[in-house]
Structure 1
Amino acid sequence: MTTSEPLPLPSGVVDAWINPNLGALTNAATALFPDLAARMERGTTLEQLIDEMDAAGVAKGVLCSGYAGDGDREWCVRARDRYPERFALSHVVDPREGMAAVRLVEELVTGEGHRLIRLLGLQTQLYYNDPAYYPIYAKCVELGVPVSVNVGFPGPHVPSKYQDPLPVDDVCAFFPDLKIVLAHGGEPWVDVCVKLMVKWPNVSWMSSAIAPKHIPAAILQYANTRGADRIMWASDYPLLTHERCLAEAVRLPFRDAAKLERFLSLNASAMFFA
Structure 2
Amino acid sequence: MNHRVIDCLVNVHFGETPQQPKWMQAVREDYFKGPPSMYAPVELDRLLDEMDEQGVERAILMDSVAKPSVTARKFAEARPDRFSLTIGGMNLLRPMAALRELTAVVHDLPVSYAVVGPSFWGDGIYPPSDAVYYPLYTKCAELGLPLCLNTGIPGPPLPGEVQNPIHLDRVCVRFPELKLCMIHGADPWWDVAIRLLIKYRNLRLMTSAWSPKRLPESLLHYLRTRGREQIIFASDWPVLSQRRVIPEALALDLPDAVLDNYLYNNAKEFFFGERPADV
Q: TM above 0.5, one fold?
A: yes
Alignment of 1:70-85 (within 5 A): 70-72=67-69, 74-85=70-81
Per the alignment, do residues 234 and 36 of structure 1 end up closer, same or farther by CA in structure 2, a change over 3 Å counting? farther
Mapping for residues 7-18 of structure 1, pairs under 5 Å: 8-11=1-4, 13-18=5-10
How many Å apart are 1:195 and its aligned residue? 0.9
Contact 2:210 / 2:235 at 8 angstroms: preserved in 1? yes
Q: Which residue of 1 aligns with 2:83?
A: 87
> Who is 1:4 aligned against?
none
The structure whose RCO (Cα within 8 Å, separation 6+) is larger is 1
SS of residue paired to 1:148: strand
Residue identity (%): 33
1:253 correspondence with 2:253? yes
Residue number in structure 1 paired with 2:242: 242
Cα distance in 1 for partners of 2:12, 2:130 equals 30
The aligned length equals 262
Q: Which residue does the alignment assign to 2:200? A: 200
Task: Tell me by how many angstroms 1:123 deviates.
Answer: 1.2
Structure 2 residue 227 is matched with structure 1 residue 227? yes
- 1:96 matches 2:96: no
Q: Give 1:114's match in structure 2, choosing from 103, 107, 111.
A: 111
2:157 and 2:118 mapped to 1: Cα distance? 13
CA-CA distance at 1:239 after TM superposition: 0.4
Moved more, 144-153 or 44-53: 44-53
| Partner amino acid, structure 1, of 2:6 | V
Question: Using the alignment, how far apart are the partners of 2:68 and 2:142 within structure 1?
Answer: 28
CA shift for structure 1 position 272: 2.4
Quick one: distance in 1 between partners of 2:107 and 2:37? Answer: 37
Q: Which amino acid aligns with 2:107?
A: T
Deviation at 1:45, TM superposition (A): 1.1
1:107 Cα deviation from its structure 2 partner: 1.5
Shift of 1:71: 4.6
Corresponding residue for 2:11?
A: 19
**RMSD, aligned CA:** 1.6
The amino acid that maps onto 1:152 is: G
Change in CA separation of 1:195 and 1:36 when aligned onto 2, cut-off 3 Å: farther
CA contact 2:13–2:62 (8 Å) conserved in 1: no
Mapped to 2, the partners of 1:153 and 1:51 lie a distance apart of 33
Cα 1:244–1:175 shift into 2, 3 Å: same
Shift of 1:186: 0.6
For 2:165, what is the secondary structure of its paired residue? coil
- Aligned residue type for 2:128: Y
How far off is 1:78 after superposition? 2.2
Q: What does 1:37-76 correspond to in 2, within 5 Å? A: 37-41=36-40, 43-66=41-64, 70-72=67-69, 74-76=70-72
Q: Write the distance in 1 (CA, Å) between the matches of 2:138 and 2:201.
A: 18
Amino acid at match of 1:87: F
* Partner of residue 155, structure 2: 155
SS at match of 2:12: coil
Contact 1:36 1:239 in 2 (8 A): no
Scaled by the length of structure 2, the TM-score of the pair is 0.89
Unpaired runs of 5+ in structure 1?
Answer: 1-7
Distance in 2 separating the partners of 1:76 and 1:162? 28
Tell me, which stretches of 5 or more residues in structure 2 are unaligned? 274-279
* Structure 1 stretches of at least 4 aligned residues deviating more than 3 Å after TM superposition: none
Amino acid at match of 1:10: H
Aligned counterparts, 1:168-207, within 5 A: 168-207=168-207
Find the aligned partners of 2:105 and 2:190 in 1 and give their Cα distance.
31
